[in-house]
Amino acid sequence: MDKLPKIALPVIFAFIVVIILISKSAVTIGSGEAGVLYKTFGGGVVTDEPPLGEGFHVVAPWNKVFVYEVRQQEVLEQMNVLSSNGLDIKLEASAWFEPIRSDLGKLHQEKGEAYVQRVLLPTIRSAARSVVGRYTPEQLYSSKRDAIQQEIFDETQKIVSGQYIQLNEILVRDVTLPPTIKDAIERKLKQEQESLEYEFRLVTAKKEAEKVTIEAQGKADANKILSASLTDKILQDKGIDATLKLAQSANAKVVVVGSGESGLPLILGNN
């Protein structure tokens, strides 16, 4: 050190200071993230400029950068809610959401980094209690799951739409009823199913009986029409025609004229 020129010491010292300042000023924004710049001597949180994007950034060492994930995220919430008749229901729901990138500065300034706990989760709980309170346990268990899910989404969306949060989906993962209520609902649903099957069998049997009746009636009407149209004259003419055809055949036979009923010929074959 004694052999170094006197000017070298200040240069080395300055170089070390620059390195320290750069290391403290360098900020790397990862993929799926964005940074909110806070200017200590320039008005605080920057809200009128786009947030810092992915990659390497150098900021003044007296400023700060708050990094947020801006990809779609999921939060799961388990809660106890009351049905329309006051029964305790356990509901498990999840929300797909993401902060609005262009409003990230305002989100940080007004809600902070804990915006999920401060805004989103309380809103989901409030919406779920409001929606579930309109339905009976039976509706929650069976037919209204999709409707409940959509209504919770709609009510949550109304609140968070002005809170710099983009809500993409609400999913009702599970609805847990008290065991006694669940068993009673399952028995009722089973009885209703059996009743529907019995009604179906009755309807099928009735239609089959109607089909048989219609077919029988059709045959009876046809026979009635045929009987009404067969007069003695028509029968005699048909008998003559049949006799002529038999007489013209090559088989051996004996024809006795006028020996049959109604004066028709009587034909005696070799059999």
pLDDT tens for 86-103 read: 888 888 999 999 999 999
* pLDDT score, position 20: 57
Predicted pLDDT of residue 185: 60
* Burial class (CB within 10 angstroms; exposed 0-12, middle 13-18, buried 19+) of 127: buried
Tell whether the model's pLDDT for residue 153 goes beyond 80.
yes
Extents of the domains making up the chain? 8-69, 73-177, 182-229, 232-269
Tell me phi and psi for residue 125, to 5 degrees.
Answer: -60, -45
For residue 155, pLDDT over 80 is answered with: yes
How confident is the prediction for the chain on average, in pLDDT?
79
Q: Outline where the chain has alpha helix (H).
A: 8-25, 104-110, 115, 121-132, 137-141, 145-160, 179-229, 232-247
Whether the per-residue pLDDT at 252 is higher than 60: the answer is: no
- CA–CA gap between residue 79 and residue 96 (Å, rounded): 17
CA contacts within 13 A on the Cβ side of 99: 25
- Give the pair of three-digit tokens for residue 160: 């968070």
Q: Is the pTM of this model over 0.95?
A: no
- Give the pLDDT confidence of 38-73 residue by residue, as tens digits: 999 888 999 999 999 999 988 888 899 999 999 999
**% pLDDT > 90, the chain:** 36
Phi/psi for 94 (5° steps) reads: -130, 155
pLDDT of 262 over the 60 cut: no
For 174, the 3-state DSSP assignment is strand
CATH topology of domain 73-177: Tetrahydropterin Synthase; Chain A (3.30.479)
pLDDT band at residue 236 using 50, 70 and 90 as cut-offs: low
**Long-range CB pairs of 139-146, under 8 A, 24+ apart, other chains included:** 140/83, 140/89, 140/175, 140/177, 141/175, 141/177, 141/182, 141/185, 142/185, 142/189, 145/172, 145/175
Q: What is the pLDDT of residue 145?
A: 78
pLDDT of residue 100: 95
Residue 32 CB coordination number (10 Å): 13
The whole-number average pLDDT for the span 77-82 is: 89
* Burial of 47 from C-beta contacts in 10 A (0-12 / 13-18 / 19+): middle
Interval 200-219 mean pLDDT? 78
Q: What pLDDT is attached to residue 11?
A: 59
Q: How confident is the model at residue 10 (pLDDT cuts 50, 70, 90)?
A: low
**Which comes out higher in pLDDT, residue 186 or 35?**
35
Q: Residue 71: what pLDDT?
A: 95
Confidence of residue 112 (pLDDT cuts 50, 70, 90): very high
Structure tokens at 53: 């994007």
Query: What pLDDT is recorded for position 84?
Result: 83
Task: Say what the pLDDT of residue 255 is.
Answer: 54
Residue 247's pLDDT band (cuts 50, 70, 90) = low
CA distance 11 to 17: 10
Residue 4 has pLDDT above 80, yes or no: no
Residue 202 confidence class, pLDDT cut points 50, 70, 90: confident
Structure tokens at 159: 């609140």
Backbone angles phi, psi at 202, to 5 degrees: -65, -45
Report the range of poorest mean pLDDT among 79-88, 179-188, 214-223, 247-256. Answer: 247-256
